[in-house]
Each structure stands twice: as structure tokens, then as C-alpha cells.
Structure 1
Amino acid sequence: MPAPYNPFKAAIAKGELQLGCWLGLADPYIAEISAGSGFDWLLIDGEHAPNDLRSITAQLQVIAGRDSHAVVRPPIGEPWIIKQLLDAGAQTLLIPMVESGAQAQDLVDAVTYPPHGVRGVGSALARASDFAAIGDYLTTAREEICLLAQVENRKGMAALDDILAVDGIDGVFVGPSDLAADMGFIGQPGQAEVQNTVLDAIRRIVAAGKAAGILTLDASLQSDCRHLGATFIATEIDVTLFARHMREASKLSRQRLSQG
């Protein structure tokens, strides 16, 4: 029996739109609700959310019972944490702050078993192999791993062609917020100069035959990126959704019940 099929990887390779939502509340209950909401993929964030290996694993477990696909973003693209996340069952990784072709190649090596890579061989202990129930996991796992590089500063943009040239990088994700900050517009990803840079990157990614992705709450930018061929687009964040609706609920209740 081979490693589990990765529908997200197959979809973006064919250019099919995959709509996503960011999960930053770091809770399996929220992840399970989100996984039943209709999004194609959910990003479990280990970079800016209070997640650790156990909380990420718990979210992977509940998402696996639904139709959404789990994508995991570690805090950093180091081989040791990539190894742990893959063994925990993550099949799609989004690695932040990729800045060179050499770094992209190191990431490919980190998700690949020897002799072609450096991923540690410990699948008998791992959820990824169904605890050794998947007999040929070691020889089939790599085909179903989807590796996404996040480019989010001027250095990464300058190296974009080198990153795109690395075999084994399935897609490149553009990070508008960090890019805006690095360009001198912190907190202003809607600045024209930033958006033009984002859209140029999307064009280059698609032209190189890679999948292009983005997280933005700006509906206009979402549409522009999709028009240029972006295939994995995150349109919401659980934290902001919850905070926004909680504040609105409180405000409306107070207005309604304070009258008279």
C-alpha cells in the first residue's frame, strides 16, 4: 500500500483553484469546524500562532476526517522540524521566508529520503506511515509531499527565478504583509507599489509552470491574482473572522438592549 494520495498537490499541478483559510486559533475543535466549512485547504500556522508539534498533530488528525486538506507552516524551514511535521502526517508544507535557490534546494532535500535527500528514516514510529501499516511508505512518500516556498521580502523577490528553477518546489506563495514591511510600507500591503510587486511575482510563478498562491483579505487582489493564474488562494483567517464577528455581536447586542 502506498502513501496516502495528496489531492491538493494534484489539484494545483493541474491548475485547479483551491480556496483556503488560515488557522491561527491553534485548537482542534476550531480546526474540525473549519474543515467542514467547504474550504479546499486549511493552513495550520506554526509561525505566528501558538502551535507546537502536539497541537499541530491534533489538528491534522481532525482535519483528516473531513474533505479539507491540511497545509502546515513551520516557524522556520529547518530539517529537524520539517522531519517532525512530515512524520506527524503533514503532506503539504509552506515554508516561510525563502530567499534563495540554494535554500529552496535545501528544503527539497529535507523532504526527501536518502540517498537523494536528508530526511531522517523513522517512519515506523510515525503517524505518516500509519505506524508502519503502510508497508511501502518509504518508497512512495515523496511523490505525495507538496512543498511550497513562501517568498515575502525583496531578497526573495530578487531570487525568485532561482527558486522557481529548483525541481521539487511545487509552488511559490507570495506574502504581501512581510513584503510590504520590507519595502517600507509596514502595515500597508494595499500600497500600489506592493501590489504591483505581488502581481508581477504571480505572473512570473505561473509563467515558470509552478503553482502560485497568496493569502489576502483584499477581495480585489484575490480576483487579480486568480485572473493571473494563481491556484491556491487563502481568503480568510479564523482569528480575524472570530474577532470581527464577536466584536460585531457585542456591539449590536449592546445597541439593541440599551435602547429605551
Structure 2
Amino acid sequence: MSAYPGSAFRARMAAGQLALGSNLRLSRSAEAGPILAACGFHWAMLDFEHSPASPHLAHDIALSAIRAGVLPMARPSSHDPREIAGLLTNGALGLVVPHVDTPEQAAAVARAARFAPRGGLSVPGTLAHFGYDKGLAEACALFNDEVVVTVMIESRTAVENVEAIAAVPGVDGLFIGGSDLLWDLGLPGQYGAPALLDAVQRTCAAARRHGLFAGMGGPRDEAPWRGFLSAGMRMILTENDLSLMMRGARDRLSFFEGALARGGAGG
């Protein structure tokens, strides 16, 4: 098996195992990847759609994540091949592409994410993802095998087209953006809605039929996840870095206030 996180991620998906990730919206340290690795996480999403992050973080955080065995995936703000190229050739080893509504959009994204002959990604001077001892031709071929292309299903139109999107060569996974999908369905925040579960089931079924994996993010409550996991969701975006920190901080607050109340105020 490859020593690189793209292959390790694919192996988890092929085995039906969970791959847990976090959305890095506010993290700025290259230690984010090793920290997630120490917590047992498998991938991280560098968010350039809903984040004040600058693109150089695709280099600093992503390369450190790769060394730690965590797959760094970038969410670009658009489908622009130039933005995708800037993120992938500077450290990201995967994509989570927002608002893919049609198979034509999925095909364009998949092509933008790989070097010739499998795509149209522009060849850089070097690829640091795999160290510095490989020639460029070898590194680009390895990149084509390691990169993981995931497209986001975030609208009623995307759900209707999910079978055709899943059939596009070069797409590795389907990822439901629960929050945006619910807004498009007119059900903002209703993660327990039957319409969302139906979209999840349709997406997971399409992924299975075409040999892809299915993933999802959005709900913080645990109850809806049981149905989503039963449907086949395996690539899980747990929470973003801010909400994880706030959850931990609130847990500590509850513990110490409870401990003081149970133990009394005496010294």
C-alpha cells in the first residue's frame, strides 16, 4: 500500500470504514494536521469558500498534514481551474468542490484536478507533496493516483442529477452539503427532515452503483447521523475547528462548575 494519505483514504472508503475530518476555517498553524492525526482523524478540509484564509495555507498546512498521514483536501471558492491549480499544486491532495449541479460541471472539475493525459492541470516546477527526491514526471503520475476528487451535492438540481454526476470519470466521491441543500429545499436547519434523508439515501445509492464513496457534513446533533450512517455515509465532516474548540471549552466549563457544585464551596 502507498505510504501517502490519498491511497490510505481510498482504502478506508473501499473497506466501508469511517473517515473523519474537520473543516479548517480559522486554523493558521501547520500543526493542525498533526493535531488531527493525534485525535484519530483522517482528513482535513482547507476551506477557501467560507474562510478568511489565504492560499499560502494550502502549502503550510497541507504539506504538514501529508507528513502526518492526514489527507488535506481544499474546498475552492469556485470551479475556476486556475484556483483549483493553485491549491492542488501548492500542497492540497484532494478537492471538495462546492455547488456541482450537473455532470458537465463534475467533468470539468475532475479534469482540472489531474495532469495530462488524465486532465488539464498545469504542470508546476515541482510537487512537494511527495518529498523532494522524485522527478517531476514521476511526481505528477503519483499525484494523479493520489488526488481525491469529491463533488458537493448541495441543491435540488444536484440531487436530481446525482446518478449522472456519479457516472463521471475522475469523480471519486459525492459529498452532501447538508446546510446549503436544506436551504435550497426550503427547510433551513431541519437536519431531521425526511427530504434530507431521502437525498442522502439517493446519493449513497448512486455512489455505490458507480464505485464511489459518499460523504456529508452539516448537522451537529447526533440523532440525524444515525440515519445518514445507515444509508452509507462514510466520509464525515464532523465539525469545523471553531465549533470543536467551543464544544471542548463548554465541556470543561460544565465539568468544573458541576464539580464545584457537587463538592461544595469549601476549600
TM-score calculated relative to the size of structure 1: 0.86
Distance 1:101 1:3, change over 3 A: farther
1:178 counterpart (174, 177, 180)? 180
- Structure 1 distance, partners of 2:33, 2:118, is 35
Identify the residue that residue 62 of structure 2 maps to in structure 1.
60
Identify the residue that residue 165 of structure 2 maps to in structure 1.
163
2:152 counterpart (147, 150, 153)? 150
- Structure 1 distance, partners of 2:162, 2:222, is 25
List aligned pairs for 1:68-83, cutoff 5 A. Answer: 68-83=70-85
Alignment gaps of 5+ in structure 1: none
Identify the residue that residue 233 of structure 1 maps to in structure 2.
236
Identify the residue that residue 189 of structure 1 maps to in structure 2.
191
- Structure 1 distance, partners of 2:66, 2:3, is 14
Amino acid at match of 2:214: A
List aligned pairs for 1:129-148, cutoff 5 A. Answer: 130=131, 133-135=134-136, 136-148=138-150
Greater Cα offset, 243-252 or 79-88: 243-252
By how many angstroms is 1:104 displaced?
Answer: 0.6
Alignment gaps of 5+ in structure 2: none
List aligned pairs for 1:1-260, cutoff 5 A. Answer: 4=4, 6=6, 7-28=8-29, 29-122=31-124, 124-128=125-129, 130=131, 133-135=134-136, 136-215=138-217, 216-247=219-250, 249=252
Amino acid at match of 1:200: R
- Structure 1 distance, partners of 2:122, 2:35, is 33
By how many angstroms is 1:121 displaced?
Answer: 1.5
Distance 1:233 1:3, change over 3 A: closer
Q: Deviations over 1:105-132 (max 9, x none)?
A: 101111122344211112x244236457
Between the two proteins, the alignment pairs up a number of residues equal to 258
- Structure 1 distance, partners of 2:11, 2:134, is 24
Greater Cα offset, 215-224 or 231-240: 215-224
TM-score calculated relative to the size of structure 2: 0.84
Amino acid at match of 1:237: N
Q: Deviations over 1:8-44 (max 9, x none)?
A: 1233234332222222223224443223211122222
- Structure 1 distance, partners of 2:214, 2:207, is 6
Q: Deviations over 1:122-146 (max 9, x none)?
A: 2x24423645734412333212211
Secondary structure of the corresponding residue to residue 68 of structure 2: coil
Secondary structure of the corresponding residue to residue 118 of structure 1: coil
- Structure 1 distance, partners of 2:240, 2:44, is 10
Distance 1:30 1:146, change over 3 A: closer
Distance 1:222 1:134, change over 3 A: farther
Greater Cα offset, 144-153 or 245-254: 245-254
Greater Cα offset, 52-61 or 127-136: 127-136
- Structure 2 distance, partners of 1:209, 1:220, is 28
Asked if the contact 1:35–1:42 (Cα under 8 Å) also holds between the matched residues in 2, the reply is no
Amino acid at match of 1:213: G
Asked if the contact 1:91–1:144 (Cα under 8 Å) also holds between the matched residues in 2, the reply is yes
Asked if the contact 2:200–2:231 (Cα under 8 Å) also holds between the matched residues in 1, the reply is no
Asked if the contact 1:3–1:140 (Cα under 8 Å) also holds between the matched residues in 2, the reply is no
- Structure 2 distance, partners of 1:248, 1:38, is 20
Percent identity over paired residues: 27
